[in-house]
Amino acid sequence: MSGFLESLRCSECVDWGEKRNTIASVAAGVLFFTGWWIIIDAAVKYPQVEDFNHSYHACGVIATIAFLMINAVSNGQVRGDSYSEGCLGQTGARIWLFIGFMMAFGSLIASMWILFGGYVVKEKPVVYPGIAVFFQNAFIFFGGLVFKFGRTEDLWQ
């Protein structure tokens, strides 16, 4: 019984090879833009402020900014093995990435807060906008993670 998962290792039966970065980029694009279309759906279905408070859109905007911040620095810059120092060097890249991830986690947590604090606990008649906000932020968050960690920088050289 022990170790029966070892034969199921996925990275060996699928030859990622040179296609890995492409697949990761496409998957991240699907996740990110699906998230935004979910919130567009909720916004056009419930245009009234009572159903869907417009300030809840800020959550997805912060998640998008975090997405951009996370993916603006390469892993090599954070590790310090890039050729150019950039304007702030390794420390600046680390601080930038730290703030980016904080905004990403913060928006994810805030979307859960909106779902439960704004819709479930108040027992509103329509819960769908809250679920849409949560799914939007979850999709953007995981899209960012896929875009950041799904790609390998060995293929760039």
Q: 41 or 112: whose CB is closer to another protein?
A: 41
Is residue 25 involved in binding another protein (CB under 8 A)? yes
Tell me how far apart the alpha carbons of residues 88 and 96 are, in angstroms, rounded to a whole number. 10
Tell me how far apart the alpha carbons of residues 53 and 69 are, in angstroms, rounded to a whole number. 27
| Contact set for another protein, span 66-95 (CB under 8 A) | 74
Q: 110 or 143: whose CB is closer to another protein?
A: 143
Is residue 18 involved in binding another protein (CB under 8 A)? yes
| Contact set for another protein, span 90-129 (CB under 8 A) | none
Q: Of the ranges 16-24, 54-62, 96-104, 105-113, which one interacts with another protein (CB under 8 A)?
A: 16-24
* Cβ at position 40, least distance to another protein in Å: 6
14 CA to centre of own chain: 25
* Cβ at position 26, least distance to another protein in Å: 5
Burial of 143 (C-beta count, 10 Å sphere; 0-12/13-18/19+): buried
Put residue 112 in one of left, alpha, beta given phi > 0 → left and psi -120 to 50 → alpha.
alpha
Q: 27 or 112: whose CB is closer to another protein?
A: 27
Is residue 21 involved in binding another protein (CB under 8 A)? yes
34 CA to centre of own chain: 11
| Contact set for another protein, span 42-61 (CB under 8 A) | 44-45
| Alpha helices (H) along the chain | 10-13, 20-45, 57-72, 75-79, 89-113, 128-149
Give the footprint of another protein on this chain (CB under 8 A): 18, 21-22, 24-26, 28-30, 32-34, 37, 40-41, 44-45, 74, 147, 151, 155-157
